[in-house]
Structure 1
């Protein structure tokens, strides 16, 4: 049961991390575009 919970937590954390990374990439792209103008 502990292992199952750990696997579920890891997948959730991975999704959250991917979400944050995506947001950071979008923000960086937006900042770069703003600096170009």
Structure 2
């Protein structure tokens, strides 16, 4: 969970860089995580 939160924070800073490593997994994890942070 901790990694997911950090990943979501990174999305706010640099979405392009975050999506490079794993687009499919990134989208799956960030959607629910971003909703929780918001």
Provide the TM-score with structure 2 as the length reference: 0.33
- Considering Cα pairs closer than 8 Å and 6+ residues apart, tell me whether 1 or 2 has the greater RCO: 2
Structure with the higher helix share, 1 or 2: 1
**Who wins on radius of gyration, i.e. which is larger?**
1
Provide the TM-score with structure 1 as the length reference: 0.33
